Amino acid sequence: MEIRQRDQQAPFTTKDGSTIRSLLDRANAPVTNQSLAEATLPAGGSTQRHYHRLSEEFYYLLEGGGVMEIDGETREVGPGDAVLIPAGAWHQIRALEPMRFLCCCAPPYAHDDTYF
């Protein structure tokens, strides 16, 4: 059984500019097909617009609100919203207030699968 405690995972900044804690991924568990991380953005912060060639991504908003852009379409997002980001889709999220959300990637997130 693999269980990881959020507060025992060190936060780091991803290539796109968000601060994340890897909750379960290749770095801390025997993961092969997906990854789960918690991301945070300060009010006014945003990720750099990017895409992943391989990974399909889900964002699940826990706290705060902002604007999600996927391939030129924008929508406001907030707590309880789940967002599908297909592999190959350009995307960016901008926080209108401090934001906390889950990022699920399949295959697992990798810096070298982030393109600008």
Q: Is the pLDDT of residue 111 over 90?
A: no
Output the domain CATH number for residue 24: 2.60.120.10
Residue range of the domain that includes 60: 15-113
Q: Is the pLDDT of residue 14 over 90?
A: no
* Strands of the sheet with 12-13, listed across from one edge: 12-13, 19-24, 35-41, 99-106, 56-63, 82-85
- pLDDT tens digits for 37-93? 999 999 999 999 999 999 999 999 999 999 999 999 999 999 999 999 999 999 999
Average pLDDT over residues 87-104: 98
* Residue that has been written with the tokens 């991924």 in this structure: 25
Q: With CA atoms as reference, report the closest residue to 49 among 15, 20, 78.
A: 15
Q: Considering the domain boundaries, does residue 9 fall inside one?
A: no
- The total domain count for the chain is 1
- Rounded to an integer, what distance in angstroms lies between the CA atom of residue 9 and that of residue 64? 22
Mean pLDDT of all residues in the chain? Answer: 96
